[in-house]
Amino acid sequence: MDKGLLAYLLIPLLSAVIIPFAARTRPKMADILANVTLLAGLANLLWLALRPSMIAGGFADIPGDGLSLLLVAAVYLVGLCVTFFSAYFIEEGLPNRPAYYSLLLVSVAAMTGVVTTTDFFTLYVFIEVLAVTSFALITTDDSSAGIEGALKYFFLTFPASVLIIVGIAILMMTLGSLSYENLRLFMASDAPAGPVTFASALIMLGFIVKSGVVPFHTWTPDAYQGAYAPVSAHLAGIVTKISGVYAIIKLATLLRFFDGRAQALSEMLMFLGMLSIAVGALAALKQTNFKRMLAFSSISQIGYIVLAAGLGTPLAIMGAVFHLINHATFKTVLFLNSASLEKSTGTTDMDKLGGMEHSMPWTSWTSIVALLSTAGVPPLSGFWSKLLIILALWESGLRVYAVLALLFSIVTLAYFMMMQKKVFFGKKTPASERVQEVSAPLLAPVVLMSAIIVALGLLFPYFYAYVKVVAERIIL
Amino acid sequence: MNIFSLDWYLIAIIMFVGFYCMLASRSIVRQLIGLEIISKAAMLTVISAGALSNNLIYAQALLITMIVIEVVVVATGLALLVKNFRLHGSADIWTLSSLKG
């Protein structure tokens, strides 16, 4: 456990315990406490990472490996956007308001635990805590779709925990320890790697199921579509990234994919990544529900991260980490916009919507920023991460993968343009008559995230310096 | 054949029973029971691995934590089953098909 970051785990947990008592008579206290906790944590993290002396020194004094700090900041950022959005989104009568905020804070705490831990067993514990909070959060509004999504999520990701447990058992038997450091040292030595690689492959397979990479993706669209609207932003934005993709990136660096000791596993992972880019993008083309299309787009973007993690060179890991952060920002924007649409029109069916750009200009423009970033259009942040990934692929001689990754980013642009045309441009449909823009507090998180997308794109050299420090520390 | 290979045969059989239970039944409750059986087999691997590598105390510590975690997960799963039953009045897995596309 990275002790410097322990407070970021414990304080949300404490808040989660206090909220049900504090909000017993005044339900609004729950909103205030949750927002204040996350805002204070985020301000603290920003000071830690972005104070002027740190930037001037090229981020050399970042505590720990840098990756934990970056991902904790991403968790807090998405968590804050979701709680702030929820505070104005939840209807007054919802009975379990304090429980909702408690679960969100426990989920933030569990994600902080996942990214700061240094051994596989603690990782497993926090992953399960995260899964439990997600099941409960999906069914917040007790809708039929929510319960169905949560049940599918439960049944299709529970076997992943079994794979992780068996992997942990075999790792304990062959390596004698479960810490990351021992695995790294073992893979750097000359000992035959067979059984340890097998155990790691089982653990990795568990995390592949949990992150929704293609052969195991069937739960993802159902869970995202059925979930309570702000919760789907939380799930798609950060929960599945942290509970699945983070561990894949971590294992890829620990197994030293770049020096070819686990060649077969690395190739398999890259193939699955490419497959999920292709299947996700092609399936997104023919969706009619906004949220379901975003879910398939999410599968496709996770494919890019897994592809880069499977390659495992320092440049590819930089691309994977950067794309993870970018994915958190733009997918949060798009899902929160879908929640705004649902609130003002009552539907997310793209065939029933149309011509929303005049009645909801802010939602429309932030969607354009986010979708251009997802598709990788130059000044925005998504361009740089895809560029890093494709450059890394080209540099390692995997030209076919590089070309395919480039082509499917055009397909990404195609399905997002179709979405934008159906929902925001064109003629007004009966469902979108007399629709008002949602209130300013609901727009604030979306505008903040869009600003971050633009800022990360324009200030890329600073961020590159940070990610470079991270890649150097986690690989060497 | 030593005692440990017998352990692992047993684990494989239990895991197979669990998967068979999941495949052969339509009721969500039986599916959950199947999952439980699979996860029990996985826990047996931990204790067997601990015994095999003379690390039994560590394995026991891990296992007790795993059991606690699993109880929480299964309780949440059962809560979902109950909510689903109250809403639809049936526990048939094939009725869960409103989300598709």
At A364-378, the pLDDT tens digits run: 888 888 888 888 888
Q: Does residue B33 carry a pLDDT above 60?
A: yes
pLDDT at A104: 92
pLDDT at A75: 92
Chain segment A205-258, per-residue pLDDT in tens: 999 999 888 888 888 888 888 888 889 999 988 998 998 899 999 888 888 877
pLDDT at A229: 86
Which of A90-99, A105-114, A378-387, A428-437: highest mean pLDDT?
A105-114
Best A172, A174, A220, A349 residue to mutate vs chain B (most B CBs within 10 Å): A172
Which residues of chain A approach chain B closer than 8 Å at the C-beta?
Answer: 121, 124-125, 128-129, 131-132, 135-136, 139, 142, 144-145, 147-152, 154-155, 158-159, 161-162, 165-166, 168-170, 172-173, 176, 221-222, 225-226, 287-289, 292
The count of domains in chain B is 1
- What's the rounded mean pLDDT across residues B70-82? 91
Domain borders along chain A are 3-475
Distance CA A198, CA A377 (A): 40
Confidence of residue A204 (pLDDT cuts 50, 70, 90): very high
Of A82-96, A230-244, A279-293, B22-36, the one with minimum mean pLDDT is: A82-96
- Report CB contact under 8 Å: B77, A154: yes
Domain that holds residue B27: 3-91
- Judge whether A213 and A243 are in contact, CB under 8 Å: no
CA distance, residue A132 to nearest chain B CA (Å): 6
Distance CA A462, CA A59 (A): 9
Top-confidence residue, A476 or A45: A45
3-state secondary structure chain A: CCHHHHHHHHHHHHHHHHHHHHCCCCCHHHHHHHHHHHHHHHHHHHHHHHCHHHHHCCCCCCCCCCHHHHHHHHHHHHHHHHHHHHHHHCCCCCCCHHHHHHHHHHHHHHHHHHHHCCEHHHHHHHHHHHHHHHHHHHCCCCCHHHHHHHHHHHHHHHHHHHHHHHHHHHHHHHHCCCEHHHHHHHHHCCCCCHHHHHHHHHHHHHHHHHHCCHHHCCHHHHHHHHCCHHHHHHHHHHHHHHHHHHHHHHHHHHCCHHHCCCHHHHHHHHHHHHHHHHHHHHHHHCCCEHHHHHHHHHHHHHHHHHHHHHHCCHHHHHHHHHHHHHHHHHHHHHHHHHHHHHHHHCCCECCCCCCCCCCCHHHHHHHHHHHHHHHCCCCCHHHHHHHHHHHHHHHCCCHHHHHHHHHHHHHHHHHHHHHHHHHCCCCCCHHHCCCCCCCHHHHHHHHHHHHHHHHHHHCHHHHHHHHHHHHHHHHC
- What's the rounded mean pLDDT across residues B27-44? 91
| Nearest chain B residue (CA) to A139 | B80
| B38, B39, B59 ranked by CB distance to A172: nearest | B59
Distance CA A34, CA A98 (A): 10
- What's the rounded mean pLDDT across residues A108-119? 90
Amino acid letter, residue A357: E
Q: Is residue B101 part of a domain?
A: no
- What's the rounded mean pLDDT across residues B76-95? 85
Chain B neighbors of A103, CB-CB under 8 A: none
Q: Does residue A95 carry a pLDDT above 70?
A: no
pLDDT at A437: 74
Best B73, B92, B95 residue to mutate vs chain A (most A CBs within 10 Å): B73
Query: Cβ neighbours of residue A192 under 8 Å, at least 6 residues apart?
Result: none
Best A129, A162, A164 residue to mutate vs chain B (most B CBs within 10 Å): A162
| Nearest chain A residue (CA) to B12 | A166
CATH number of the domain where residue B22 is located: 1.10.287.3510
The total of other beta-carbon atoms located within 10 Å of residue A338's CB is: 26
Confidence of residue B101 (pLDDT cuts 50, 70, 90): low
B92 - beta bridge partners? B27
- What's the rounded mean pLDDT across residues A391-413? 89
Confidence of residue A28 (pLDDT cuts 50, 70, 90): confident
**Nearest-5° Cα angle at A341, A236 to A77:** 40
Of A101-110, A179-188, B29-38, the one with minimum mean pLDDT is: A179-188
| Nearest chain B residue (CA) to A159 | B35
Q: Which pair of structure tokens corresponds to residue A196? A: 């340890």
What is the residue-averaged pLDDT of chain A?
86
- Report CB contact under 8 Å: A128, B73: yes
Q: Is residue B97 part of a domain?
A: no
Q: Is residue B99 part of a domain?
A: no
Distance CA A455, CA A293 (A): 26
Q: Does residue B14 carry a pLDDT above 90?
A: yes
The total of other beta-carbon atoms located within 10 Å of residue A98's CB is: 22
Distance CA A203, CA A212 (A): 15
